[in-house]
Structures are given as structure tokens and as C-alpha cells.
Chain A
Amino acid sequence: MSLDPATVRRIAKLARIRVDDAEVAKLQGELNGILGWIEQLNAVDVEGVEPLTGAAQMSLRMREDVVTDGGMADAVLANAPERAGDFFTVPKVVE
């Protein structure tokens, strides 16, 4: 299957990456090149195969449900591009 310009725009929207019209055409070609190459996997017989989610062949550990960290607002906010007191700031989202 091949991506049309509308689908490229939709993916960019889902990925929260702004693309202009000139970029859509370029991305369409590149993404279709990659997806076309990936199509070869359709030939593999995967009937009855259980999917492998990761390389760690182990069950996940449990730990005590306790607070192990915290009380470091200044360290957390130290890299904020904009802050107000102990808060991150964003453009107004509620009218």
C-alpha cells in the first residue's frame, strides 16, 4: 500500500510534527520507499507464532509500592524552557 499526501499529513498530525506543503511531497516519497521495502515481510509465514515483545526473556519484577523519590521540584524544573514558580507553563488551553 502506498501513502497519499493526505495520509502523510495525518501521520504528521498524529506525531505532532509540523510539515509544510513542500515537505509533504518529499516525505511521501521517502516513507513510501521505506514501507515498500518493508512489504517483503508479507511473504513470511507467521501462522500460529506468538509475538515477541522484547529481548529480555524474563518476567517483570514486582517491588514494594512505596515512594522512593521526590521533593526535588527545583531539580525537576531546572531544564524547563519556561516556568512560573513551581509550575511548567504552556499557552492557555481553557477559555
Chain B
Amino acid sequence: MSLTDLTLAEARAKLRARQIGAAELTGAFLSAIERLNPRLNAFITVTPEQALAQAREADKALAAGDARPLTGIPLAIKDLFCTAGVRTTAGSKILAPFVPPYESTVTANLLRDGAVFLGKANLDEFAMGSSNMTSAFGGVENPWKRQQDPDAVLVPGGSSGGSAAAVAARLALGATATDTGGSIRQPAAFCGIAGIKPTYGRCSRWGTVAFASSLDQAGPVARTVEDCAILLGSMAGFDPKDSTSADREVPDFAAACARGVKGMRIGVPREYRLDGLSDEIEALWRQGLDWLRDAGAEVVDVSLPHTKHALPTYYIVAPAEASSNLARYDGVRFGLREDGEDLIDLYERTRAAGFGDEVKRRIMIGTYVLSAGYYDAYYLRAQKIRALILKDFTDAFGQVDAIVTPSTPTAAFGQGEKMDDPVAMYLNDVFTVPANLAGIPGLSVPAGLSADGLPLGLQVLGRPFDEESVFAVGAALERAAGFVAKPELVA
């Protein structure tokens, strides 16, 4: 077995047993990146010298018997997390020259625990997208191929497309990601890996480039549910520098993976049975529920009546917050600058040149729904519907311990598809967006293959701050599914 094929948990055990060295492991991933990244474009920036230096430090720590939770574990970092001294672009031309003088709390936590950073992973511009096609640094190729059409280049999903593709192709043991409307779970599903968006407030937002602050939440993607649990254990934790960070103990997420689901009540929301949901997704969903029944869980119907309003609600709330957050890109203090005749002209030219089409659309929608005369009709109304969506979940979690749904309405699609119709692209997130509006945790676990041989995911939703139940259900689905298929393009 090659080193890049190990899971994070396996690699950690071998490092601690001194069966492999950290520099050797990091070297294997760096050569895999060198070989495959020119094609996949999963990394915007690769940092080989830094990675090898960190790996050598890890070897010293391991030799001294000082193993921390992630000592010597090579990771990809979504290029939305500020990394001190390493360029952080957010996938945007406007931040192309930006080198942060500080480290985000999430990445600082990973470094504290001994992780090795291989580089910065590609993403949709400012995390706005479901295909990675809005990145100013080019699209990412999904390492999976349709059996019938192996030449077609498919998207890895988005916005954490580079993170998911890197992990699926074995270019990293795991990766950081962020999820504002599905940006961890949808790419994880499209790339046949696991990914969790924890409860809002679980991971600090400090030092992560902001998109929609009441929805943004960091989380990990990795090949297994347990690997995600290990990574989340390091990423999470209270941070006084984030005003919405939750002051709570971080539980042993990895231990929860082994809990099993005996006696748990699993909800199936009838409103998620969309018109036109494909037969194979429907069948996989039914299969997943059968697996949980076989493992001792009870499956019950629940109702989330306002679910159907979640997506349009999101497309008011998220752009409104984005238009405010992205006002900081003015060409004066950092980032790209285009000269103008006066200050206003400088702002307008800088932002016209620096932002891509999707980002401009969302800023303009957000500006409009917040503008005088329209605020009540759009933004305030959306906030009220958001309250109704949360109440649906609160009611449902009075009856069940977790909810299981498909992660996405389809498998990965081709690069260039859905590009001329923003609303068609938005529909990718129909199953994932409600969890962001409600702030609850959601995990995607690879559960099967489509008729075309592409991975499909199931989503597990849980109560706020009950990621442990989500991990227990996710790990049970993973054990039953026995998903061992590998992508076409793999290190």
C-alpha cells in the first residue's frame, strides 16, 4: 500500500509507531501534488519548503515521544483561511497579491496540534459557487470520471472544490473547508469523500475571509468519517476573537464514531422528496435508511414544512451579508488597485476589475435587497422565514436524534454545465442550505455510486452542538456502505 493511500487515522498510528517518518510521508504527498496538480488544479499555491520544514519538526517531536493529535499529518488548506506569510487569495483576483501577516484561528489550532500544511486549495471566488468554476485561478478537475464518458471533465463541486479534489485524489490526508450553503458537503459528495459542517460557532471565524458571517462555518473534509472527527477535534474550540464563537468544551468526536446507532431515532423529512429527484438518489436514500434500521435505529417520518423556502431565503440573506462584508475591498488598504480619476472612480474600477461575474451578481443582489424601500420586502421577510426554518428543525429534533437526506440532487456535472443560468446552479444546494440557515451540524458521507460510476453522498443532520450523534450515524452509514471505490485520477 502506498503512503498516500493511508487514511489519516492509519497514517497517525504508523507515525506514532515510528513505522513511517513524517518527512517521508510529506514527501510522498508533495510528489503526488507535483504529478497530478498541473492537471487537477486543486492547489492555487503549493508550499513544499514550509511543508518539509514542518515535517522535520514533526519527526523530532515524534522521536522525543511528544506526539500531538496531528503531528506530521499533511493537510491542504482552503485558500480562504489566512496563513501568516503565505499568500491567501480567496480565489479572487482582488486578493491575488494579499499575504496575511497573521494566522487564522482554525489553522493556528491545526499548527498547534502538529499538522503539516502542503499548500492552499482552490475554491470558488470568495466561496461563492457550487462548481469551483468561479475561481479566478481556474476550475478544478474532479478526479472521478463517468464510466460511459471518461473524457468529460467534471466539476468537483464547490466552493471547497480544491480541498475535496485534493483529498479524493490522495494529494492530502485531509483538508480544511468552509460551508456557507453547502460548500463542504456538496464537494465531499461529488468527490466520494466525507465532510462535516459543524454547528455554527463551533469553529472560530477569525482570520477566515468572510462571505456571509451568520452562515459561514469552517469544517474538515477527509476520506473517512473518523478522519473528519479527528480534524474537527483540532479545528474547533472557543475563540474570544470571534464574537459568535461558542464557549463550549470540544467533545471527543472520534470516540462518537464508534458509538453505533442502536436505539437512535432517525428522521426522514418528507419535504426532501423533491419532484424530479432521480431514482438512483431516491434508492440510495432508502438503502441508507435500511442500513440504519439493520444497525438498530428506528426510522420515523418528520416534517420540515418550510424547507422549500430555504434556498430563495438563502439567496437574500447570503448576498445581503456578502455585499456588506465585501465592501472592504476598496483598492486602498490591501489587494488589487486600479487607478481612477478620483476616489470613487478608483473604488469602482478596482472592484470592476477585481471581482468576477458571480461575486458581482451577489454583491448587487445584496445591495438591492438592503437598499432603502426594499429592506422590509426582501431582507426582513427572509429573516422571518429563517426563523420558521429553524423552528421546523427544533420541532423535528424534539422527536428524532438525527435526520438523514441525500447530500445533493445529482452526481457531479460537467465543467461548463449550468454556467449560463445562476438559478440552476443554485439548486445544487437545495438539500444543504437549510442546515446553514438553522446553524445545525451536517455531514456528508459517501454511500454509493451512480449508474455512471460517480460517487453519491448521504447527509446526516443533527441538533445544535450534537456533532457526536451526527458522527455516530455517519460512521454507521459508512460501515454499512463499505465504500471502497477510487477515482480515476489518483496518486
A interface list, Cβ under 8 A from B:
3, 8, 11-12, 14-19, 27, 30-31, 33-35, 37-38, 40-42, 44, 46, 49-58, 60-61, 63, 72, 75-76, 78-82, 88, 90-93
Instruction: Please name 5 pairs of A and B residues whose Cβ atoms are closer than 8 Å in the assembled complex, sorted by A.
Output: A16-B327, A16-B344, A27-B360, A40-B309, A41-B313
Number of residue pairs spanning A and B whose beta carbons lie under 8 angstroms apart: 167
CA of A16 to CA of B332 in the docked complex: distance in angstroms? Answer: 14
A27 B361 Cβ-Cβ under 8 A: yes
Q: How far is the CB of A41 from chain B (nearest CB, A)?
A: 5
B214 A38 Cβ-Cβ under 8 A: no
B214 A91 Cβ-Cβ under 8 A: no
Q: B residues 232-273 with Cβ under 8 Å of A?
A: 240, 243-244, 246-247
Given A18-B345, A18-B349, A52-B386; 8 other pairs, CB 8 A cutoff:
A11-B368, A15-B364, A17-B355, A34-B361, A34-B423, A56-B214, A63-B240, A79-B98
Is B342 an interface position by the 8 A CB rule? Answer: yes
B interface list, Cβ under 8 A from A:
97-99, 101-102, 200-201, 213-215, 240, 243-244, 246-247, 306, 309, 312-313, 315-316, 323, 327, 330-337, 339-349, 351-352, 355, 360-361, 363-365, 367-368, 371, 378, 380-388, 390, 421-423, 436-439, 464
A15 B323 Cβ-Cβ under 8 A: yes
Q: Which residues of A contact B367 (CB under 8 A)?
A: 11, 14-15
B246 A58 Cβ-Cβ under 8 A: yes
Q: How far is the CB of B94 from chain A (nearest CB, A)?
A: 11
Q: Which residue, A3, A46, A88, has most C-beta atoms of chain B within 10 A?
A: A46
B383 A17 Cβ-Cβ under 8 A: no
Q: Out of A11, A75, A90, name the residue touching B332 (CB < 8 Å).
A: A90
CA of A33 to CA of B423 in the docked complex: distance in angstroms? Answer: 8
A57 B464 Cβ-Cβ under 8 A: yes
Q: Which residue, B98, B313, B361, B364, has most C-beta atoms of chain A within 10 A?
A: B364
A40 with B364, Cβ < 8 A, contacts A16-B351, A50-B387, A51-B384 known: no
CA of A52 to CA of B391 in the docked complex: distance in angstroms? Answer: 11
A33 B422 Cβ-Cβ under 8 A: yes
B201 A56 Cβ-Cβ under 8 A: yes
